[in-house]
Amino acid sequence: MTTVLETKQLLKKRSLDRIEALIKSGASLRNLPSNDNNDLDLAYRDEINLWLERQRGRYFTREETTLQCVLALRYADLTRPTARELWQYLQILILKDARMLGRRPMRFPSYSTFRARIADLPRDFVWKARSGANDGRPSVTALVSRFDAIVSSQA
């Protein structure tokens, strides 16, 4: 019999494995099937767009900011990862990417910077996505797909 903690860890591992596989393959997130088969909630799409605009700054490059924002969006997931887990996973992804491509690694955000990105996410969106409410629960995959489309169109 599996415990709730084991189930949560398994779901989190699957989620992180999918992110890692996507990053390795360089695939777009647009064609991924949604886990919950819900359409994108348009109210959250607008809020996520505004959140994305607030994340732009002068210190981090567009590529660094995009990666940080994609992982910050993973905070709003049914597996309920902590901000520290996502921050540590971000560091692992940056180091693996640099090792695979044979280049200098991107800059790491401090924990407080990454946590501030997460804290700035729309609270209703995070609450619904993390609680798994079936009524109107936004699809994280759809939101990440929308985010990817926005970044691609602005590039």
pLDDT of residue 16: 65
Residue 76: what are its φ and ψ, rounded to 5°? Answer: -90, 65
Average pLDDT over residues 79-93: 90
pLDDT tens per residue across span 15-72: 667 666 656 665 444 444 444 434 435 668 888 888 988 888 889 988 898 889 989 9
Task: Flag whether pLDDT at 7 surpasses 50.
Answer: yes
| Separation of alpha carbons 124 and 117, rounded Å | 15
Of 29, 153, 16, the closest CA to residue 85 belongs to: 16
pLDDT of residue 33: 42
pLDDT of residue 134: 54
Domain count, the chain: 1
Which contiguous run of DSSP H or E holds residue 49? Answer: helix 42-55
pLDDT of residue 114: 95
pLDDT tens per residue across span 123-143: 888 888 777 655 555 566 666
Of 65, 73, 58, the closest CA to residue 121 belongs to: 73
Of 120, 119, 118, 98, the closest CA to residue 107 belongs to: 98
Domain of 83? Answer: 4-154
91: its two tokens: 């560091």
| 126, 138 contact by CB (below 8 A) | no
